[in-house]
Homo-oligomer: A and B are copies of this chain.
Amino acid sequence: MEALPTNEGDPGSTSSSTSGAEAAAEPHTVTIYDVARAAGVGIATVSRALRGSAPVADATRAKILRVVDELGFRPSHLGTSLAEKRHAAAGIVFPDLSGPYYAEVVMGHEEAASRLGRSVLIQGTNGRTDPIAAARDLAGRVDGLVVLGRTVPDALVEEILAQGVPVVLLARPSVGNADSLRVDNLTAARALGEHLGTHHFAQVRFLGSPDSSHDVAERWAGIFQGLARSATRLDLTPCNLDEESGTRVARAVLAGPDRPDALVCANDEIALGAIVAAEEAGLTVGVDIAITGWDDIMAARHARPGLTTVRQPMRLLGAHAAEVLDERISRTRTTPRHEILPAELVVRSSCGSHPQGDRR
How many copies of this chain are found per oligomer? 2
Across the interface, A107 reaches (CB within 8 A) one of B23, B103, B338, namely B103
Rounded to whole Å, the gap between the CB of A306 and the closest CB of chain B is 10
In contact, B82 and A111 (Cβ under 8 angstroms): no
In contact, A15 and B114 (Cβ under 8 angstroms): no
Q: Give the contacts of A322-352 with B (CB-CB under 8 A).
A: 335-340, 342-345
Segment from A48-56, A63-71, A154-162, A203-211 that makes contact with B? A154-162
Rounded to whole Å, the gap between the CB of A293 and the closest CB of chain B is 11
Interface centre among A14, A15, A174 (most CB of B within 10 A): A15
Q: Which residues of B contact A188 (CB under 8 A)?
A: 4
Given A5-B187, A123-B110; A279-B12 close (CB under 8 Å): no
Across the interface, A114 reaches (CB within 8 A) one of B82, B134, B163, namely B134
Q: Does A87 contact B (CB under 8 A)?
A: yes
In contact, B302 and A272 (Cβ under 8 angstroms): yes
In this complex, how many residues of chain A approach chain B with their Cβ under 8 Å: the count is: 91
Q: Does A303 contact B (CB under 8 A)?
A: yes
What residues make up the interface of A, taking CB atoms closer than 8 Å to B? 1-2, 4-7, 11-12, 14-18, 23, 26, 29, 72, 74-79, 81-82, 85, 87, 89, 98, 100, 103-104, 106-107, 110-111, 114-115, 119-124, 126-128, 134, 136-138, 140-141, 155, 158-159, 161-164, 174, 176-177, 180, 184, 187-188, 191, 272, 275-276, 279-280, 297-299, 302-304, 335-340, 342-345, 359-360
Q: In the assembly, what is the distance between CA of A120 and CA of B299, in Å? A: 28
Rounded to whole Å, the gap between the CB of A94 and the closest CB of chain B is 9
Q: In the assembly, what is the distance between CA of A107 and CA of B122, in Å? A: 9
Given A111-B126, A164-B26, A359-B276; A177-B15 close (CB under 8 Å): yes
Q: In the assembly, what is the distance between CA of A11 and CA of B26, in Å? A: 51
In contact, B336 and A15 (Cβ under 8 angstroms): yes
Could you list 16 examples of A-B contacts with CB < 8 Å?
A2-B345, A4-B343, A4-B344, A5-B187, A12-B161, A12-B339, A15-B336, A16-B177, A18-B176, A23-B161, A26-B162, A29-B164, A100-B103, A103-B103, A103-B104, A119-B141
